[in-house]
Amino acid sequence: MNKGNKDEKIQVLLSNEDHHKLKNIILNYSMMNGKLMTSSAYVRELILNHIREYEGEQNSFVNERIKEIIQKTKFEKNITHE
């Protein structure tokens, strides 16, 4: 992602307990990767990963539907030519 391309802001409200848990998760994640990560960067990465996963699911669904239509069309062509 282009750093200059970040122009939308999303606000999220969390309880103190959830915010504390999130900070611990991010701290552990940062320690495993050997570099400090901000809350914003971590949440941004979660969102972007979810978007990529969702888009992949959508593409997969569309591709499967297209295959079904092609198979059905081939089957119908074979029936009419017999």
Element (H, E) at 66: helix 39-81
pLDDT digit string, tens, across residues 51-71: 888 877 767 777 777 777 887
What pLDDT is stored for residue 7 in this prediction? 80
What pLDDT is stored for residue 65 in this prediction? 77
pLDDT digit string, tens, across residues 3-49: 567 788 888 899 999 999 999 999 999 999 899 999 999 999 999 88
Give the angle subtended at the CA of 45 by the CAs of 47 and 6, to the nearest 5°: 85
Q: Residue 43 in contact with residue 12, Cβ under 8 Å? A: yes
pTM of the predicted structure, to 2 decimals:
0.58
CA distance 25 to 39: 10
The structural domains of the chain, with segments of one domain joined by +, span 14-81
